Homo-oligomer: A and B are copies of this chain.
Amino acid sequence: MTRPASRHPTELELEILKILWREGPMPVRGVRQALAPSRKLAYTSVMTVMGIMAQKGYLRRSKHGTHFVYQPAITKQSTVRGIVRDVVDRVFDGSAAAAALHLVETADLDERELRAIRRILEQKGEDKP
């Protein structure tokens, strides 16, 4: 009857997760600083969001002296996979092939990138002859 919670981290939540994946466990202050170049938020705003993320199970936190240190409770791999699968389902009716095609057709890829993708395709082809 009402609005369901997002199945994946929201935009700001993903920003915060990326910071913690990249730079390791950190207190709110550190996350706020890392966020600052692209997004100037009040300290309490960042704290609120990170508190919600801990509730949702995205983060774990432990007391260090006077303040909390936060760390990711979910992996980058599983998170990215979840988000991508969701888009593939919603936009490409579940066809990962259609999504991949769209990307290589639309994107402006250079030679090095094209080779990397071909290499993976070869491996995939060998897996199941």
Chain A interface residues toward B at CB < 8 A: 11, 14, 80-81, 83-84, 87-88, 90-91, 96-97, 99-109, 111, 113-114, 116-118, 120-121, 124-125, 128
Contact = CB atoms under 8 A, between A and B. Distances in A.
Contact of A120 (B84, B91, B101, B125): B101
B124 A104 contact: yes
A97 B91 contact: no
B90 A97 contact: no
A114 B121 contact: yes
Copies in the assembly, this chain:
2
A84 B84 contact: no
Enumerate the 7 nearest inter-chain pairs by beta-carbon distance, A residue then B residue, closest first.
A96-B107, A97-B113, A100-B103, A104-B120, A87-B87, A97-B109, A100-B104
A84 B80 contact: no
Given A87-B84, A87-B87, A97 B124 contact: no
Given A100-B107, A104-B117, A117-B121, 16 more contacts: A84-B91, A84-B106, A87-B87, A96-B106, A99-B107, A100-B117, A101-B116, A101-B117, A104-B120, A104-B121, A104-B124, A111-B125, A111-B128, A114-B124, A117-B117, A121-B121
